[in-house]
Amino acid sequence: MKNRILPPLKPNNRDREYNFYSDELKAQVIYEHLFNNKMHRWMDINVLGANGNTNGRNSANILYYLGLKADYRGFFEGQSIDEVIEILNSKGERYADVVRLLKVQAKTSRLYETVISDIEAQEIEEGNYVEGTKKSYFVNKYERDPKNRKKAIEIHGLNCWVCSFNFEEVYGERGRDFIEIHHIKPLSTLQEAVVINPATDLVPLCANCHRMIHRRKAEILTIDQLKDLIK
Ligand SMILES: [Zn+2]
Ligand SMILES: [Zn+2]
């Protein structure tokens, strides 16, 4: 697959659409064309925001200007964007514009994936995560149980264990008695009921540190690991 011969590039000089649209939109048009086999009309409507009467000329002219004709449609289907950037890079200058725009698209996709995974981690933490078809609620009852929380605050105080942040010091009355409570055993190991010892199992954390600890659902940090990160 990697060494297939690329169709010839057939660029033209009609640059009106190419100059009109932003790099982000052009990058997405190229991506949909090369990787997702999308038709010009579909891209005009769904990427470039044209109304339903479009004949697809806008995205077609962007692609034609770069020399990407119909034989490139879906040509890289199933390949990763980084892999294709590497292939086209090795073909020299003539692909420079395409490579530049694919890099824009790669950055956008990465940010999008990060945002999705952040929202997922937050939903797990908030206890309303739904995975696949089977609903599995990881209700974070240990961190949220008011009795546990009150006990933990009485024992450990209201300062973040990682960065010492204190909500009342910064926010005044609005922040009084506020701190988040974190259970130091990863959530996934807490599927069945266990007895919680607030003295050893729960720690106070500010909202920032708490979110960073849970940010990657497959890799929940320990208190010491997070302390090392902010040293
Ligand atoms: Zn903190
Ligand atoms: Zn937590």
Q: How far is the CA of 180 from the centre of ligand 2 (A)?
A: 8
Q: What's the rounded mean pLDDT across residues 170-196? A: 77
Q: What's the rounded mean pLDDT across residues 127-135? A: 47
How far apart are the C-alpha atoms of 155 and 141, rounded to whole Å? Answer: 19
Residues 74-110 pLDDT 10s: 999 999 999 999 999 999 999 999 999 999 999 988 8
> If DSSP codes are grouped into helix, strand and coil, which group holds residue 114?
helix
Q: How far is the CA of 126 from the centre of ligand 2 (A)?
A: 10
- Starting from the CA of residue 214, give the closest ligand: 2
Q: How many CB atoms lie within 10 A of CB 75?
A: 17
- Starting from the CA of residue 226, give the closest ligand: 1
- Give which of 32, 15, 105 is closest to 66, Cα–Cα: 15
Give residue 82's identity as a one-letter amino acid code.
D
Q: How far is the CA of 14 from the centre of ligand 2 (A)?
A: 56
- Residue-level pLDDT at 134: 36
Q: How many CB atoms lie within 10 A of CB 136?
A: 10
Give residue 110's identity as a one-letter amino acid code.
R
Q: How far is the CA of 77 from the centre of ligand 1 (A)?
A: 44
Q: How far is the CA of 204 from the centre of ligand 2 (A)?
A: 9
Those residues with Cβ within 8 angstroms of residue 61's Cβ, 6 or more apart along the chain or in another chain: 14, 16, 17, 18
